[in-house]
Amino acid sequence: MVSIHHMEDLSKVVKPTTRRLINGNTVYQLPYFPGPYGDTAFVYVLPRSGADAITIMAHKTDWTTPGKSPTGYDRVIERLLTSVRLEGAPATRPAGGN
pLDDT value of residue 77: 92
Provide the whole-model pTM: 0.75
Q: Do the Cβ atoms of 71 and 59 come closer than 8 Å?
A: yes
Q: Do the Cβ atoms of 26 and 88 come closer than 8 Å?
A: no
pLDDT value of residue 37: 62
Q: Do the Cβ atoms of 89 and 49 come closer than 8 Å?
A: yes
Run means of pLDDT, 10 residues per run, the chain, 98 residues? 78 84 88 69 85 87 86 92 72 42
